[in-house]
Structure 1
Amino acid sequence: MGKSEQQERLERIVGRFAEVAPPSWVRLVGNWEASPGPTGEITLNYLTLAVVDGGDRWLFGQVGYDEPLYDLVAQLHAMAAADEPDHAWTVLDLEVDQDGTFRVELGYDPPKRSRGVLDEESMGRFETYLDRWVAEHGPRPPARPAGSSS
């Protein structure tokens, strides 16, 4: 599979992530760790989180499991592995903003969280995400115009 097919799959992941996001989300944060199983199949250990405009404060929490999103990420991994079998990504970080922009970072080291290593990289940065968001964006979302629902 070529890079254009992988880019298209990534855009489908972004779209699906936005579809399953809670109302009033402003940023989605996804982290998937890919580990090969005994017969070569990939298992994904994932965190899918959302920052939400709660009106008077920012909210942050887990986005529910979605099998189509999981499958799209697994397919993206398979595409990468088909291109470079010995150098497929092991960690996919994805941030999606409400305006449709997104950032992707791929890692190639052994995944940590799925091996029980719960350090800053694998868990801590997600546990403190809302604190960092508030430090950057202020304690309250911007005021919405009267009558606006999002």
Structure 2
Amino acid sequence: MGKAEQQEQLDRIVRRFADVAPPNWARLVGNWEAYRGPTGELTLNYLTLAVVDGGDRWLYGQVGYDEPLYDLVAELNRMAAADVPDHAWTVLDLEVDQDHTFRVEFGYDPPKRARGIHDEESMGRFETYLDRWVAEHGPRPPAR
């Protein structure tokens, strides 16, 4: 699979993530860890979160599981593995803003959460995400 096909798949992921987001979302945050089980099957350990305009304050929480989104991310991993079988990404970080601009980062180290490591990289940065958002955007959403 070429890079153009992978970019198209990433665009599908962004659209699906936005489709399943809660109303009034301002930013979506996704983190998927990919690893192979004993028989080679792909498993994704994921966090899908949203910063939401709650009117008088910012809210932050988990976006519900969505099988089509999961399948799109799994397919992106398979596409990457088709290009370089021994070096597919193991971690996908994705932030999507309301205007559908997005930032993506791929990691290649062994996934941490899936191995029970809950440090700043694997969990802490998501637990403090709302604090950093409020520090950058203020305690209240702009007036609607």
What's the TM-score, normalizing by structure 2? 0.99
Q: For 1:4 and 1:127, how far apart are their aligned partners in 2?
A: 34
- Which residue does the alignment assign to 1:139? 139
Does residue 42 of structure 2 align to residue 74 of structure 1? no
- Which residue does the alignment assign to 2:61? 61
Q: How does 1:111-122 map to 2 (within 5 A)?
A: 111-122=111-122
Secondary structure of the corresponding residue to residue 92 of structure 1 = strand
Q: CA deviation at 1:39?
A: 1.5
Give every structure 1 segment of 4 or more consecutive aligned residues whose post-TM-superposition deviation is greater than 6 Å: none
Structure 2 unaligned spans of 5+: none
Secondary structure of the corresponding residue to residue 73 of structure 1 = helix
- Which residue does the alignment assign to 2:24? 24
Let me know the Cα RMSD of the aligned residues: 0.4
Q: CA deviation at 1:73?
A: 0.2
Code of the residue aligned with 2:15 in structure 1: it is G
Code of the residue aligned with 1:108 in structure 2: it is Y
Structure 1 unaligned spans of 5+: 145-150
Q: For 1:87 and 1:101, how far apart are their aligned partners in 2?
A: 27
Per-residue CA distance 1:60-111 (angstroms, 9 max, x = gap): 0000000000000000000000000111000000000001100000000000
> Bigger radius of gyration, 1 or 2?
1
Q: For 2:89 and 2:15, how far apart are their aligned partners in 1?
A: 21
Q: CA deviation at 1:12?
A: 0.2
Q: For 1:106 and 1:10, how far apart are their aligned partners in 2?
A: 12
